[in-house]
Structure 1
Amino acid sequence: MPRPRSLTTADLAAAAIAVIDRDGLPALTMRAVAKELRVATMALYRYVTDRDHLEILVVDRVLEGVDLTLPPDTDWRARIDLLMHRMRDAVSAHPETVPLFLRHRQSATATLRYIEATLAVLTDAGFDGRDRVIAQRAIIGFLLGFLQNEHHASLRGPGTEAMARLSPHEYPLLVQTASQAREVSPAEEFSGGVRILLRGLDPRFERTRVAQQDE
């Protein structure tokens, strides 16, 4: 009797991504991945314990090429901006995987390393304690929320079109904004949102606000 084909976790991750890219995230099953690899379903359990484990491999594989090295002696906001754009580029190459990053952000090695890199930049900028917690979560929250919106809610989809057709007398600002939103590209929206976020996180901004309140 022939021995079972030898696989690696990288093989499983690549096959799982192929299934997701072709058929969508709901199609990801152990059976589908086994079929992609042309092996028996039970053979996968030599490498992963369950679907959650397989999903984590997918997250790690999608992010494995994200460069976490940053140019020295640059403004902290420029470094965070670079990390956020690199993450968006990597995940956007496999948009159906977006929900997995929210689900496994606290367990996948790749996301943990990414978070560690952002925390290093924030620490270097002077964030610590509760401020660092809030800043890091604001960054990850914006990033994951934007990816979800971009790839699963359609920034220029039928919902935006419907709002643009509402009564301008009843919803003047909503109609105007929805109409203008159709002209803003995802790249422009992401870059602009990152700039606003980082401007608001600048610790000097907070110190200035507190100083003004004390006067």
Structure 2
Amino acid sequence: MPRPRSLSPARIAEAALAVIDRDGLPALTMRAVAQELGMGTMSLYRYVDDRQELEGLVVELVLGAVDTVPPPGAPWREQVATLVRRVRDAVAAHPAVVPLTMTHRHSSPASLRWGEAVVDVLAGAGFDARSRVIALRALLGYLLGAIQLEHLGPLAGAGTDVMAALPDDTYPRLAETARSAKTVPPDEEFDGGLAAVLAGIEAGAR
């Protein structure tokens, strides 16, 4: 008779996320998660098949907490912006998970629910199917790219300092821009970029 299943998918996802948060995405292995749970590696295979399934559970844990109900009665741009910001807030707490959201976005129920909410707002605003394709991909590209730059990319932290120190006689505009970047709060930078993307989406649909 098989032993009872004593671990929930949520508990396994929490352990996997703890490994990623502490040691980075490359450290995510069946063995590492099993150790986090205080069990043998082979025992973990009773619950999940492989690392890919672990990744999917992590994505569900992170994105499953995102509220996909847009603010009622708000203009479509505000509704979409709110949905985008909610994902940013959820993922920014675990930036190493960003690559997984792209890998699993077509198989993750939470990701699909979010996508459905966004395109439903766009459809209600009069965007046809072709325009919704372009808009959704533009929003995803901006959202995930902005999170990576903020937390993992070359413009984050010391990267900005390096660019700010570039010689003015060779890279005058780039150095000046990097120095200015230190004075722009992350929320202002994100919201400004998002507003530009939404304005472009609106202009392109006309």
Change beyond 3 A, Cα 1:56–1:156: closer
TM-score (norm 2): 0.92
Question: Aligned residue for 1:145?
Answer: 145
Does the alignment pair 1:86 with 2:86?
yes
Kindly indicate whether residue 109 of structure 2 is the aligned counterpart of residue 109 of structure 1: yes
SS in 1 for 2:45: helix
Counterpart of 1:210 in structure 2 is none
Instruction: Provide the rounded CA distance (Å) in 2 between the counterparts of 1:79 and 1:162.
Output: 37
Q: Which moved more, 1:138-147 or 1:14-23?
A: 14-23
**Equivalent residue, structure 2, for 1:212:** none
Deviation at 1:180, TM superposition (A): 0.5
Return the letter of the residue paired with 1:173.
Answer: R
Instruction: Give the whole-Å Cα distance in 2 for the aligned partners of 1:190 and 1:22.
Output: 26
Contact preservation (8 Å) 1:5, 1:39: no
Say which SS state the counterpart of residue 77 (structure 2) adopts. helix
CA separation of 1:206 and 1:130: change in aligned 2, threshold 3 A = closer
Flag structure 2 segments of 5+ consecutive residues without an equivalent. none
Corresponding residue of 2:132: 132
Query: How many Å apart are 1:162 and its aligned residue?
Result: 2.4
Letter in 2 for 1:83: L
Distance across 1 between alignment mates of 2:106 and 2:152: 22
Partner amino acid, structure 2, of 1:185: P
CA shift for structure 1 position 143: 0.4
Provide the rounded CA distance (Å) in 1 between the counterparts of 2:14 and 2:154.
26
**Distance between the aligned counterparts of 1:156 and 1:40, measured in 2?**
38
The one-letter code sitting in structure 2 at the alignment partner of 1:85 is: R
* Equivalent position amino acid for 2:12 in 1: L
Moved more, 133-142 or 162-171: 162-171
Map of 2:174 onto structure 1: 174
Q: Secondary structure at the match of 2:187?
A: helix
Q: Which residue pairs with 2:53 in the alignment?
A: 53
Question: 1:4, 1:43 within 8 Å by CA — same for their partners in 2?
Answer: no
Q: Distance in 2 between matches of 1:170 and 1:144?
A: 31
Change beyond 3 A, Cα 1:71–1:120: same
Can you give the 5+ residue segments of structure 1 that lack an aligned partner in the other structure? 208-215
- The equivalent residue for 1:73 is 73
1:15-38 deviations in Å (ceiling 9; x for gaps): 111111122211111011111111
Q: CA-atom RMSD, angstroms?
A: 1.9
What is the Cα deviation at residue 14 of structure 1?
A: 0.8
Whichever residue aligns with residue 49 of structure 1, its letter is D
Q: Is the 8 A contact 2:135 2:201 kept in 1?
A: yes
- The answer for the alignment partner of 2:13 in structure 1 is 13
Looking at structure 2, the residues matched to 141 and 84 of structure 1 have their Cα atoms a distance apart, in angstroms, of: 11
Q: Aligned partners of 1:90 and 1:206: how far apart in 2?
A: 29
Q: Which has the larger radius of gyration?
A: 1
CA drift at 1:160: 2.3
| Distance in 1 between residues matched to 2:135 and 2:124, nearest whole Å | 13
| Mapped partners of 1:17, 1:156: distance in 2 | 22
Counterpart in the other structure of 1:30 = 30
The AA in structure 2 aligned to 1:19 is: V
Deviations 1:82-141 (A, max 9, x none): 011110111111122122112211211111111111111111111113211111100001
Specify the code of the residue in structure 2 equivalent to 1:14: E
Q: SS where residue 6 of structure 1 aligns?
A: coil
Asked whether the equivalents of residues 164 and 176 of structure 2 are also in contact (C-alpha less than 8 Å), the reply is yes
